[in-house]
Amino acid sequence: MEANDPTHALFSAEGSLVGIVFPDHYPETADLRPLPEDYWTRGFYRWDGEAFVDDLEAAQTVKWDEVKAHREALETGIAPLAAPLGPVQIDEKSKMKITALHTLAIAAAAMEEALGPNSEPIFLEEFTLADNRVVTLTSSLALVLGMSVAGYVSRVFAAGRALRDQIYAEDATVASVLAIDVEAAFAAALASGEG
């Protein structure tokens, strides 16, 4: 608690919470009650009519919003794909282009297979990675690109769902929800299936 943070709750004659205040601004007859010690540092309290109690719903909402923001940043940022590709931009426009390349590569791979192993490739596409390196995509590498991006995005959403399950677990408490390290959880989930 900072020295300039209010330390008490002011209540009306009917017992309703009026506001959070400094006690020295009110007469001794005012209904003032001290805030929990960690009111300002931990937060997530609500007045239940008799006492300040944990506000699990508020903590869950804030943590779930954090998960969604992190998930969106990962889903529309850069996918760290394995060699021979590398970092790939995956904003919505880039994902549409990758999907189009993947679709063309499916048709090209079928035509190349029909032409036989000694034929020239009919699908070669220059593709710029997020680090500005340019790779030449063959039909098979374009298929790998499309599947790798789809797999990465799928892992991002699976990690988000696992975090949501933790946040809204039946035995969740304010402390357990606040202890969830969203960034570390996503990093661990994505590291288990890179590429």
Residue 177 tokens, joined: 């929800």
**Per-residue pLDDT tens digits for 156-191:** 999 999 999 999 999 999 999 999 999 999 999 998
Distance between start and end Cα atoms, the chain: 45
- Once rounded to an integer, what is the mean pLDDT over residues 10-24? 85
Q: Residues 89, 73: one domain?
A: yes
Return the percent helix, strand and coil in the chain, to nearest 5.
Answer: 45, 20, 35
pLDDT score for 82: 87
Same domain, 144 and 80: yes
Instruction: Say if CB 193 and CB 151 are below 8 A apart.
Output: yes
pLDDT of residue 182: 97
Residues 82 and 158 in one domain: yes
CB atoms near residue 170 (< 10 Å): 4
CA distance 144 to 83: 11
As to burial, measured by CB atoms within 10 angstroms (0-12 exposed, 13-18 middle, 19+ buried), residue 161 is exposed
28-83 pLDDT, tens digit per residue, is 888 888 888 888 887 888 888 888 888 999 999 999 999 999 999 999 999 999 88
pLDDT at 193: 65
State the total domains in the chain. Answer: 2
Average of per-residue pLDDT across 111-130? 90
Quick one: 75 and 117 in the same domain? yes
Looking at residue 15, what DSSP letter applies? Answer: S
Determine the longest span between alpha carbons in the chain, in angstroms: 95
80 and 91 together in one domain? yes
Residues 44 and 100 in one domain: no
State the DSSP string of 73-137. HHHTSEEEPPTTT-EEE-SHHHHHHHHHHHHHHHHHHHHHHHH-TTSPPS-EEEEE-TTS-EEEE
Domain span at residue 23? Answer: 8-54
Q: What is the per-residue pLDDT across 131-143, written as a single tens digit (0 to 9) for each?
A: 999 999 999 999 9
pLDDT confidence of residue 58: 93
Are 139 and 164 in a shared domain? yes
Summarised one tens digit per residue, pLDDT across range 144-161 is 999 999 999 999 999 999
Residue predicted with more confidence, 17 or 132: 132
